[in-house]
Amino acid sequence: MQNMLSPDLDPHRLARTLAGRHLIDGALVPAASGRTFPVVNPATREQVSEAAFGEAADVGAAVAAAVEAQKGWARLPARERGKLVAECGRRLTDHVEELGRLVALETGKALRTESRVEASVLADAFVFYGGLAGELKGETVPFNPDMLTMTLREPIGVVGAIIPWNVPMMLMALKIAPAMVAGNAVVVKSAEEAPLAVLRACQIMAQVLPPGVLNILSGFGPECGAPLVTHPKVGKITFTGSVETGKIVYKAAAEKLIPVTLELGGKSPMIVMGDADIGRAVGGAVAGMRFTRQGQSCTAASRIFVHSSIHDDFVARLKAKVDAMVMGDPLDERTDIGTIISDGQFEKVKSYIRIGEQLPGAKANTCSAMPADPKLARGLFVQPVIFTGIGNDSRLARAEIFGPVTCIIKFDEFDKVISEANDSEYGLAATIWTRDLRTALDATRRLEAGFVQVNQNLVVQPNLSYGGVKQSGLGKEASLEAMLEHFTHKKTVIINMQ
């Protein structure tokens, strides 16, 4: 085991230190081609570092290291692996501040409201999964009294994990922690917009893990993600990203007949009944819409159905609350709302706002104030917009915008609102706000979503299965079930004792 890394609280310096590197076989190495691509701070649009440009050769090296390392890793007693993974979590805990600052720098997510929180969740996920190692149990099966029949949970081998930029550390953790505990080795492909904090997190974990068990590559989808999916030695792909790319990944994996977990988009409904605690529901809308993450969340409560009896009051209170949020430098402790991740996403969000403004009857309630600091003048800031006066069939209510844009849709009848909530190609999350138990229970049964909450809007939690239905994806994450179902094979063994 190497010496412990000390946290570096200067994210600019740390970003430069990590420049142009993958982590392969326990070492930080440049791309085989030597190529790099820029890493940009979206709050200033200045380049802060560069990342290694991963291609098939890098994928080949990382997978070869993983194949080799996996053999010994899988032979360790399960709880030994669990202890090492939990130790990764403890080391990451010492780096929460550092990782929070680094992810704030590269993604534009505010440190206090988002980035620091994400870094703690990252650490916690490894501690959580490390403790589940003893649960990798098989079963005995009543088959023939003269034959001992049982199942064994075995690792798949090498897992490819493809992650997005919106919560890169947390989403990486929910994939690689269970994969490693189950005895797999992993090759992660980070998102091109956010390669640094995840690389740093893997570097910290590489001090604890045997070389090659955890590898991470940076690069773009077609050049680096695609060869990872198609590599013959990768036995499982776990992916979080857009529906479009998810389908490409699924098709490529089908050619190899390997299992895939897909966490894709959402257009999550939040239903506020007339009897709801309106203050709590307004708070829930702010949290659920992830305004502090600029709405860049697949579970964002981006369709808020509000009963007509409280509609105007709800809108006024929500607007006041979002207006009070401070947009600014993501690294400033006073900031609630940072920036959009990239020029492309910025243009996309702006174009949806323009579409909304032109919808007949729609009103765009623009909230909060643009930052005054001239250093941030070129930053990718978008003022949150709460649209009212639109229907569930409008483009704004159907498309996943992935920005700080929500629609408030008025309703009168419960049955009708449930069918409107379900009238979406997505089915990731949903919430219902009411004081009536019967209404709450009825809604939880009828809402078509993988994650349904009553009177709250929490994010993904370790121990609770998370994953969508319909176009929102396949498979679950974050739970024991996710580890067993998605990162192991079940082998049936019969021992004839006659």
What does the alpha-carbon distance between residue 334 and residue 19 come to, in Å, rounded to a whole number? 29
Cβ closest to ligand ADP, residue 225 vs residue 475: 225
- With the C-alpha atoms ordered 263, 165, 266, 462, is the resulting torsion angle positive or negative? positive
Q: Answer yes or no whether residue 187 interacts with ligand ADP by CB under 6 A.
A: no
Number of residues that bind ligand ADP (CB under 6 A): 17
- Where does this chain touch ligand ADP (CB under 6 A) — which range of 222-230, 423-431, 445-453, 486-494? 222-230
All residues at 6 or more sequence positions from 241 whose CB lies less than 8 Å from its CB, including other chains: 162, 163, 164, 191, 263, 264
Known catalytic membership, residue 263: yes
**Nearest distance from residue 252's CB to ligand ADP, in Å?**
7
Cβ closest to ligand ADP, residue 187 vs residue 272: 187
- Longest distance between any two alpha carbons in the chain, whole Å: 83
Cβ closest to ligand ADP, residue 255 vs residue 415: 255
Q: Answer yes or no whether residue 221 interacts with ligand ADP by CB under 6 A.
A: yes
What does the alpha-carbon distance between residue 250 and residue 302 come to, in Å, rounded to a whole number? 27
- With the C-alpha atoms ordered 11, 14, 20, 26, is the resulting torsion angle positive or negative? negative
Provide the β-strand partners of residue 27.
24
Cβ closest to ligand ADP, residue 229 vs residue 304: 229
What does the alpha-carbon distance between residue 105 and residue 125 come to, in Å, rounded to a whole number? 23
Contact 87, 201 (CB under 8 A): no
**Nearest distance from residue 468's CB to ligand ADP, in Å?**
15
Given 72, 134, 222, 279, the residue binding ligand ADP (CB under 6 A) = 222
**Nearest distance from residue 68's CB to ligand ADP, in Å?**
24
Residue recorded with tokens 């094979």: 489
DSSP 293: G
Q: Answer yes or no whether residue 235 interacts with ligand ADP by CB under 6 A.
A: no
Q: Answer yes or no whether residue 169 interacts with ligand ADP by CB under 6 A.
A: no
Contact 63, 229 (CB under 8 A): no
Known catalytic membership, residue 202: no
> Nearest-5° angle of CA 346, CA 477, CA 105?
35
Pinpoint the alpha helices (H) of 274-342.
Answer: 278-288, 311-323
Q: Answer yes or no whether residue 245 interacts with ligand ADP by CB under 6 A.
A: yes
Q: Answer yes or no whether residue 230 interacts with ligand ADP by CB under 6 A.
A: no
Contact 131, 82 (CB under 8 A): yes
**Nearest distance from residue 277's CB to ligand ADP, in Å?**
35
The residue annotated as part of the active site, out of 224, 298, 367, 407, is 298
Residue recorded with tokens 């560069």: 50
Tokens read off for 404: 């700080």
Q: Answer yes or no whether residue 152 interacts with ligand ADP by CB under 6 A.
A: no
Given 50, 55, 114, 192, the residue binding ligand ADP (CB under 6 A) = 192
Tokens read off for 456: 């709250």
- Where does this chain touch ligand ADP (CB under 6 A) — which range of 29-37, 225-233, 415-423, 474-482? 225-233
What does the alpha-carbon distance between residue 302 and residue 266 come to, in Å, rounded to a whole number? 9
Q: Answer yes or no whether residue 191 interacts with ligand ADP by CB under 6 A.
A: yes
Q: Answer yes or no whether residue 189 interacts with ligand ADP by CB under 6 A.
A: yes
- With the C-alpha atoms ordered 204, 209, 212, 215, is the resulting torsion angle positive or negative? negative
Cβ closest to ligand ADP, residue 21 vs residue 410: 21
What does the alpha-carbon distance between residue 316 and residue 300 come to, in Å, rounded to a whole number? 20
Given 19, 141, 152, 248, the residue binding ligand ADP (CB under 6 A) = 248
What are the C-alpha distances in Å from 384 to residues 45, 294, 313, 339, 345? 20, 7, 19, 11, 14
Given 82, 130, 157, 164, the residue binding ligand ADP (CB under 6 A) = 164
Q: Answer yes or no whether residue 202 interacts with ligand ADP by CB under 6 A.
A: no
Q: Answer yes or no whether residue 242 interacts with ligand ADP by CB under 6 A.
A: yes
Cβ closest to ligand ADP, residue 161 vs residue 306: 161
> Nearest-5° angle of CA 376, CA 381, CA 385?
150
The residue annotated as part of the active site, out of 55, 118, 193, 263, is 263
Phi then psi for residue 51, to 5 deg, are -125, 155
- Where does this chain touch ligand ADP (CB under 6 A) — which range of 172-180, 214-222, 282-290, 429-437? 214-222
What does the alpha-carbon distance between residue 230 and residue 419 come to, in Å, rounded to a whole number? 40
- Where does this chain touch ligand ADP (CB under 6 A) — which range of 224-232, 311-319, 460-468, 486-494? 224-232
Site string for ligand ADP, 249-288 (x = CB under 6 A): x---------------------------------------
The residues annotated as belonging to the active site are 263, 298
Binding site for ligand ADP (CB under 6 A): 162-164, 189, 191-192, 220-222, 225-226, 229, 241-242, 245, 248-249
